[in-house]
Structure 1
Amino acid sequence: MVTPDVALVTGVFTRKSIERIAHEAFKLAMSRRKKVTIVHKANVIRLAFGLFRDICYETGKKYYPEVKVEDVLIDAMAARLVRRAGDFDVIVTENLFGDILSDLAGELAGSLGLSPSLNTNGKQAMAQAAHGSAPDIAGQDLANPTSMLLSAVMLLQ
């Protein structure tokens, strides 16, 4: 809080972290349909998201030339994901946009309760269900374990 009426939000984008996530995205794409979509907001936040977009492209071109790469602005991506989710293979973005898009994709698949989640830094990993605590069904023995089971599968992979 700069003042009681002003809060600042900052993000840190480093070449090392961007390259790490880009490699993961491209490696995954190599085992799938060989297509990566970079999601960003470089039209407004030029330096940070421009760096993210550019390093993802560099990583793909240098190490994974057979993978098709496109980039899409986050607002357009949300609309495209709703209209044509099947057009996408691997989506790479930063944390905030990834959190929003993964919840959207979970709902498109039928429920957040079906969405797996994995957090990793390359040395450690933690699997968790993508959904929250579901207080609307608490105590009713209605929980669906699909998300947790799929998360465990991702952890083992």
Structure 2
Amino acid sequence: MSPDRNTAGYVPRLLSAAAFVTNRATETSLAELRLTQERTAVLRLLVESPAGEAMIAEASGLPAGCVRDCVLALQCCGYITSGPDGLWAVTPSGAKIQASADDAEVRLMSRGNDDVGALRQELHALIQALTPPPADPAPK
């Protein structure tokens, strides 16, 4: 049974639940690949072209310390390597795992499990509740 949609705080709670469900599912999918959202962002940038840590930090918006942790973790996984020029580059297994991460994201977004289905129904009901009724024609 759905809570009263007119209750104060209903919309923020619903939106918060939507964000939580999406975030949890994303983290679970990435964990299967030994990735985090930050590592995935770094790996995506490096698939495009080799880069140094400062360039990665600037392009991703991640703090330099986080980028350093990410590249070391990705290197330990064998997904990237550092060249003599100091630039990080994706290995063949890194390119393969990035493709797997992209596939996992597509599966996540197209998944039709009960939690997502229920959330979709609640969001649809919310949209209907927030849509104003058609205006009454002017009395004659």
**TM-score, L = length of structure 2:** 0.25
Which is strand-richer, 1 or 2?
1
Rg: which structure is higher? 2
Greater relative CO (CA pairs within 8 A, separation 6+)? 2
Normalized per residue, the structure richer in helix is: 2
